[in-house]
Structure 1
């Protein structure tokens, strides 16, 4: 088993590497190659327990996605994400369950609903890979990734409830709702505790290798503990990832630079294996279809496939229209609150606005009107963007792992070949959505012309505004430092300071000559050609300059004047500058 696993992982990574080199969507290519390879006699047939598969792959994949996601963008897109991640999964469970029960009444209504819960959650890995390559707008990517972060929790909770019913337990509607609430509260709580501990370790421990290794292990701990406490392990890992990622700007630059390539490698290996595993299961599923009323199973699978594909666009457009209606009501209420505050700040209707303004008044940077409105309005999605989201409903590892784990989940209470039938239906839906939707999604995106050109222009404006603000803050920092340098080093210090400051300003503006100026001054200081001015003092000045610029970027992001993604890009650039300081 271990040798077969290594063989499959190595082959999947090789195929994925080739696909990335050729610019093809790696998850789909790996699945297609694995499907074809599954017929070869020397290719191993992997049999992995569904619970083990979920526990081994979900925590790192979800944690990495949450770690690199923008919490601010996620919070703004929460209405979209909540409707798709909770509402659509629940609706899919009910509709698919009813249809499957009508077509296969012998399996029982609970088992039919269990099938609906299993095929309910889409997997955004393949959609995200295609979207990043083709430059989908950030708001679309946020909706897709945010949906994938919470829909697994919804599905797993529903599976847990319906599996108990299928096993013979009596579960009322209120018990099911309590199960969901408990999963959310315990899962999020456990994740925040683990995230707080890991962030504290990252701040205290000046060893990126050790802290990153702990970051690899702790998502598994959060997932297992939350599940043991009857919470959602998925939400625990997501909450942990959001907490650590949101506070990553407060850690050292070395920690941030260490994390990024590490998690990219982990994602690459796990995603390659997962999609290879999906393809390699085809012979077993085909054998099940032929042994258990093959034509009937295929008909049910095709009907369920059609349901999950067609329900998504109908739900996306209908729920978006409903959300826009409520959004207009919220905006009207916000405007009335602002008007009430302007007329009488002490009135009850103005209290929410007044308290919010009081909190913002304590900040060093005031948010713009646009940033305030972004807290009230959910991101607007065009018709073309909604079409892309509607067609990005590919199923993945969660659906397959839950299907494989059906016997254990139901305590083997579903007999007479019905378990094999449900597994086959879930598998056909997974592979069908991956190949049909996944292969046509790039064509759809290109045909509709959904790009991020407008977003790039906005990002450039935000960067220009932030450069102006950070330049002002940096000049003030240098002015204060200059007075101290002149007092300590006299005119020699003034000359060195002015030369070094000009280099810093050039670097901040993106001029390549700035690095040469900095190198020349530091070489003179290190060689002793600048009396009383030491190399360490120049290094400290550079680090202080970077600290001021980081502080401005972080403040602007926290109050909503720039996006968190832009802030992270700027931090990457400043981290590279600090790395150059350490290696110059």
Structure 2
């Protein structure tokens, strides 16, 4: 409850609703279909490796490690330069699959404890839990959007934004709905209206606060993974080290292979159906499907679900194979994070999958259009307010430089805009050195230092 809501909320805030809808079919196949397939295959694989484990307990393990984690995905994807479509699909999957995985986990645990399971009841409850979570999240997100209109203090706005994911999660869980989907729905709705309603001051403050918070929570959960592992291994009796390593590697490999098979199916299914119905649908690039298949890192949700397993059954007996299930969960988390996470960047470079060139073209187009709008506004305001023409021309020249910097020719290292950028950067650094010299010589106070230092930080980051 402490870690998951804010991380999911921030990921949903930054997710493009337009791109999410455009890739909804692929996201659904991964977030629901792949979770079910992984649960079944890993449950069967664990039963084959350890025949004594009950089927229900095996499927509990399959459900625990079925959803790739939003925390791991955002922590790794945010540091890589990947095509926009891949990022949209993977982040969209990680936002939704937690709900489907946790519902399967709930029914598998209930089957272990009671010895009964109803597929029809599970399907109906899944729909109700999902719909309830989405409705609660949209309600709270809408209330926050309305309330935001009456808030004028950026600090209060940021504090309120921190409370929204927790309120959505706790409220949804308290009525038996999906807290995960409630947080995601609230974040998507808030992100939809954020550009038009959030002030620049609040956006800068919120971005800093949220980035630090998410970084700390990511670090905390990976520390907990390491701290818990030694105690779990010590409690495993009756297994040799070789057995445990064999089980861990076999299950991890099967989890990776299942994802690869399903991802290729989900990515190429639209193209196959298009040929069947004589519709032209462009298939994804082979490299894109491979990277999507390789991004199967597990993390916080699997860890929390494993540690939340009941210690005893209602009859007073121990939960079957609980320590082994927790150990194998740790193993899958470690293998996927280390092997897949650390090799993503080299694989992207090897497959020549850089950032989307269309995104850079869109950015240049937007900068030019914004510049033209700014020039028109400057000229109109100067005429309306009777300002001196020379002042308007001076301000227009500044925006003209920005427009020139957005042109493709400006990206060349020896272009005039590029050289001007280097001059401005040298000037800002000289200002910073002079400010530090004056502060060390007690010519300016600490308050003046911090105020001017902040101005220089923003100016340098803009360059």
Give the TM-score, by structure 1 length: 0.64
Partner of 2:215: 268
Shift of 1:128: 4.0
User: In structure 2, do the counterparts of structure 1 residues 151 and 416 end up closer, same or farther at CA, with 3 Å as the change threshold?
Assistant: closer
User: In structure 2, do the counterparts of structure 1 residues 512 and 75 end up closer, same or farther at CA, with 3 Å as the change threshold?
Assistant: closer
1:183 paired to 2:129: yes
Q: Which residues of 2 match residues 12-411 of structure 1 at below 5 A?
A: 55-168=1-114, 170-251=116-197, 252-292=199-239, 295-326=242-273, 332=279, 381-407=284-310
User: In structure 2, do the counterparts of structure 1 residues 255 and 409 end up closer, same or farther at CA, with 3 Å as the change threshold?
Assistant: farther
Shift of 1:206: 0.4
CA contact (8 A) 1:167 1:413 kept: no
Shift of 1:405: 0.6
User: In structure 2, do the counterparts of structure 1 residues 198 and 411 end up closer, same or farther at CA, with 3 Å as the change threshold?
Assistant: farther
Q: CA separation in 2, counterparts of 1:210 and 1:331? A: 55
Partner of 1:506: 397
Q: Which moved more, 1:88-97 or 1:453-462?
A: 453-462
- 1:372-421: per-residue Cα shift (whole Å, max 9, x none)? xxxxx7x9631112111111111111111111111169768772761111
Q: CA separation in 1, counterparts of 2:220 and 2:315? A: 28
CA contact (8 A) 1:130 1:442 kept: no
- Among 442, 449, 453, the alignment partner of 2:345 is 442
User: In structure 2, do the counterparts of structure 1 residues 174 and 135 end up closer, same or farther at CA, with 3 Å as the change threshold?
Assistant: same
Shift of 1:123: 2.0
CA contact (8 A) 2:173 2:179 kept: yes
Shift of 1:103: 3.0
Q: CA separation in 1, counterparts of 2:403 and 2:357? A: 28
CA contact (8 A) 2:252 2:332 kept: yes
Shift of 1:457: 3.8
Q: CA separation in 1, counterparts of 2:19 and 2:47? A: 40
Q: CA separation in 1, counterparts of 2:91 and 2:102? A: 18
How many matched pairs? 406
Shift of 1:56: 0.9
3-state DSSP of counterpart to 1:463 = helix
Q: CA separation in 2, counterparts of 1:324 and 1:270? A: 40
Q: CA separation in 2, counterparts of 1:330 and 1:509? A: 51
Task: Give 5+ residue unaligned stretches, structure 2.
Answer: 405-454
Q: CA separation in 1, counterparts of 2:271 and 2:209? A: 40
Shift of 1:273: 0.7
3-state DSSP of counterpart to 1:449 = coil
Query: What value does the CA root-mean-square deviation take over the aligned residues?
Result: 2.9
Q: CA separation in 2, counterparts of 1:238 and 1:207? A: 25
Task: Give 5+ residue unaligned stretches, structure 1.
Answer: 1-54, 336-376, 486-492, 514-575
Partner of 1:418: 321
Q: CA separation in 2, counterparts of 1:510 and 1:98? A: 63
3-state DSSP of counterpart to 1:281 = helix
Partner of 1:467: 370
Q: CA separation in 2, counterparts of 1:327 and 1:285? A: 50
- 1:253-286: per-residue Cα shift (whole Å, max 9, x none)? 2222221101001001000111111122221232
User: In structure 2, do the counterparts of structure 1 residues 380 and 451 end up closer, same or farther at CA, with 3 Å as the change threshold?
Assistant: farther
